[in-house]
Structure 1
């Protein structure tokens, strides 16, 4: 079932959501939507009104692990060693002075809470469920895989953040039920074309094109490119929503420090472009999962970084420390051998390239629910 869902996720064919088959009546307060663009950059939209990657087509990669990429690690305690299933990382953190100005808490998959030194709270891709209703109901009936719920993403955490940032509309990064739990006091920062997916409720939504900037008091938030795609429709029928909304990474700047959240992305020259604009990054949150598929690995890797791609991106971004994500017991296991195979591969590869720049990047490896402080 998992492979079928992955094919759905990557389809570029006509499709329609189950949700669109149900007409919901009721009155809601209209959302407040603002759209902002960078003065010196315009995103590419084709004649069909679909957003494009900055560097479309096949990519070249700095290096690839070709053999024995998933070796058992003494720092991973797993319920099943081969493959690495339901594990806990027990290794020591690098002896680096983080001094980043950000407290980073990881809830699992792509969900983070960022707290700045001056007390601003930002949520990144907060998703506590698997699918929105009624897709979750239909998927359960079809006996699809069941995602483990992330620890710690409670009502208390979701209550009253200053800002919520979403990278794109895929179900594993955006859930409407969580928006209703968060409420309308927060500012929502999203990619272009995204606001139509929000429920009505007087939400403050800022659609931001690549390199646009939004200030939240002394906090500066920048939308930056990612190399990915968007669609939310699972059932091929009438409407094709592929590329109708964009996909972003984000840079948060506070008191002279910077944090980069890549969102879902494959490897491309856009990482170098980001470095040229914003300089070296203090903390980089980079995905390392969902790249493997025995039948269509090339296309999966095009839109998801392998662990070695993430290390190369960290070098190009000038990351002073890298925090990987995407693996874990609460992960979706889409395009992965097991819950922790991506982390297993990251540790294996890094041991082999310790003399290369990619092998010198300090890694902070978290278990779901853990945090690292400034």
Structure 2
């Protein structure tokens, strides 16, 4: 408990990077918000959660299975390989995309404290193919890893698509090929359309910059295939809105972890049942589970998300091949 309080107080000294953007239903001129609803937890609620001591211990390390990397087949429209947490390698014909890449050992501003990785990345950094586009859904440390971003920039110099507010953070770190996006904004890269869409979440990298940058999800549309990357999100009406505006995805990457305790987590993190409902709302042809099994961010055990997803699939009569659990390093192709 003392270490948590110390960590939070040290984070309070981190610089705010606020900037003014056009006001909207999700920006009030000072901070971003979830339209029509808000459930930001206070510092004291964080302490209450930590003091309940209901956390299930995780193993210190979990070995990965080995899966061979292979190029996209000539007759395939897209392949998706789960690297870890919310990081996927998406391979389209002639274009490689990474989502929320995290290769650091901790998801924290410090190398000595914070959630520590228990599984190595399913694709080692040095084995990555040339990366053309990197998607960053929001600025939490388990999604925006500056060290990994700088490594990718130095090796591949990809285009970084980020939410409003996060462009300043990357540019301060020396990364210049950055495009900041608002909800429903579109960027074209070769034959692909990248549309930034809503999610139900929040942002902060310290105690003083809460919701000063946006959060969201991405729809990638190649014309032949649509892939939806949910980022981090609670369950809400935005999934139906996304389907209505952008169409049903062929493949959806949906978070299923960091959901206990429910009183604290539910508004901002889907549990597996919520994820299955999101899969159905989106009308996705197929979904892949993510955001679990790498870093312990909440109270559930390491195997609970997979177990609870199996229960939810049975409840909603969704087959395993429609909502898939992959091993880290494993992929599938269309």
Q: So what's the TM-score if we normalise by structure 2?
A: 0.79
The residue matched to 2:267 in structure 1 has which SS?
helix
1:322 aligns with 2:295: no
Identify the match of residue 110 of structure 2 among 135, 138, 142: 135
1:306 aligns with 2:265: no
Distance in 1, Cα, partners of 2:191 & 2:215: 25
In the alignment, which residue of structure 2 is the partner of 1:291?
A: 259
- The question of whether the paired residues in 2 share the 8 Å contact of 1:192 and 1:246 is answered with yes
Distance in 2, Cα, partners of 1:360 & 1:149: 24
Distance in 2, Cα, partners of 1:215 & 1:166: 16
1:201 aligns with 2:164: no
Identify the match of residue 178 of structure 1 among 145, 148, 151: 148
CA drift at 1:255: 3.1
In the alignment, which residue of structure 1 is the partner of 2:48?
A: none
Unaligned runs of 5+ in 1: 9-13, 22-34, 59-81, 90-98
- The question of whether the paired residues in 2 share the 8 Å contact of 1:169 and 1:231 is answered with yes
1:226 aligns with 2:199: yes
In the alignment, which residue of structure 1 is the partner of 2:323?
A: 363
1:187 aligns with 2:159: yes
Distance in 2, Cα, partners of 1:101 & 1:333: 34
In the alignment, which residue of structure 2 is the partner of 1:335?
A: 298
The residue matched to 1:183 in structure 2 has which SS?
helix
In the alignment, which residue of structure 1 is the partner of 2:189?
A: 216
Unaligned runs of 5+ in 2: 40-55, 66-74
CA drift at 1:122: 0.4
In the alignment, which residue of structure 2 is the partner of 1:247?
A: 215
Larger Rg: 1
Distance in 2, Cα, partners of 1:159 & 1:87: 23
In the alignment, which residue of structure 1 is the partner of 2:52?
A: none
Q: So what's the TM-score if we normalise by structure 1?
A: 0.71
- The question of whether the paired residues in 2 share the 8 Å contact of 1:132 and 1:177 is answered with no
Distance in 2, Cα, partners of 1:360 & 1:154: 28
Identify the match of residue 56 of structure 1 among 37, 43, 47: 37
CA 255–283 in structure 1, closer or farther in 2 if over 3 Å, else same: same
The residue matched to 2:83 in structure 1 has which SS?
strand
Distance in 1, Cα, partners of 2:111 & 2:179: 28
CA drift at 1:132: 7.3
Query: Deviation string for 1:59-83 (max 9, x for gaps)?
Result: xxxxxxxxxxxxxxxxxxxxxxx99
- The question of whether the paired residues in 2 share the 8 Å contact of 1:336 and 1:342 is answered with no
- The question of whether the paired residues in 1 share the 8 Å contact of 2:276 and 2:316 is answered with no
Distance in 2, Cα, partners of 1:360 & 1:2: 43
CA drift at 1:19: 5.6
The answer to which structure, 1 or 2, has the higher relative contact order (CA under 8 A, 6+ apart) is 1
Distance in 2, Cα, partners of 1:250 & 1:2: 38
- The question of whether the paired residues in 1 share the 8 Å contact of 2:82 and 2:331 is answered with yes
Q: How many residues in Structure 1 have an aligned counterpart in Structure 2?
A: 300
Distance in 1, Cα, partners of 2:215 & 2:165: 9
In the alignment, which residue of structure 1 is the partner of 2:244?
A: 276
Distance in 1, Cα, partners of 2:38 & 2:116: 33
Distance in 2, Cα, partners of 1:36 & 1:242: 16
1:45 aligns with 2:10: no
